[in-house]
Chains A and B, each alone.
Chain A
């Protein structure tokens, strides 16, 4: 059972378009991370957000942590074919060892 709901599950867009993917939960997390995973490889960390309301930017990627630390979004500006991949959000609780992953958003950017 996934405690983190990601939407949309699948997204196919043209190069140059903007997009936003969402990660929602009823639980409060001490931190939330976004990963990108390519076929045949393990996930690679993109960003960690810790403070409610925090916004982080990584080139064309903007990450936001909700004020209540229950949800997050990833916005990509002017998507490129190299952005194609599976985007996973993952949350952690204070005092626990588990990282809880969402099912992911599979993004395909067409040239």
Chain B
């Protein structure tokens, strides 16, 4: 009965470093979403996976951001050459079905990234 888990919970990086953020969705969930939540704002969509297929990556802010879900379960969001504006909470959500209009997304607790 575990929910969505994310690791690490906190990450401090020096500007220019690469980081990798992990998401473990609920077992068997087909859909997986990544969001970026800046301080005082709502989450902003980054990318969507249906199983291992990345069907929408239109929200990734730049080509420094890369996400993968090679076996259709665990996903990794990688940020290369981090910059201060990348500082945010990165949220992962999973959903049992393929994308529709009303299914529930279950969110993880997020990874708080601080770039110095």
Query: With an 8 A cutoff between CB atoms, is B102 at the interface?
Result: yes
CB-CB under 8 A from B101, the residues of chain A are 30-31, 50, 92, 94
CB-CB under 8 A from A4, the residues of chain B are 42
Query: With an 8 A cutoff between CB atoms, is B110 at the interface?
Result: yes
Query: With an 8 A cutoff between CB atoms, is B65 at the interface?
Result: no
CB-CB under 8 A from B72, the residues of chain A are none
CA distance A107 to B61 in the complex (A): 30
Minimum CB distance partner of B44 in chain A: A101
Q: Chain A binding site: helix, strand, loop or mixed by DSSP?
A: loop
Minimum CB distance partner of A98 in chain B: B45
Chain B interfacial positions (CB closer than 8 Å to A): 4, 33, 35, 40-45, 48, 55-56, 58-59, 91, 93, 99, 101-102, 104-105, 107-110
Distance to closest chain B CB from A60 (angstroms):
21
Max chain B C-beta neighbours (<10 A), residue from A30, A42, A90 = A42
A-B contact pairs, 6 of them (CB 8 A): A4-B42, A42-B107, A44-B107, A92-B101, A99-B33, A101-B42
Max chain A C-beta neighbours (<10 A), residue from B33, B41, B58 = B41
Say which residue of A45, A96, A100 sits within 8 Å of B104 (CB atoms).
A45
B-contacting residues, A41-67, CB 8 Å? 41-45, 48, 50
B-contacting residues, A65-111, CB 8 Å? 88, 90, 92, 94, 96-104
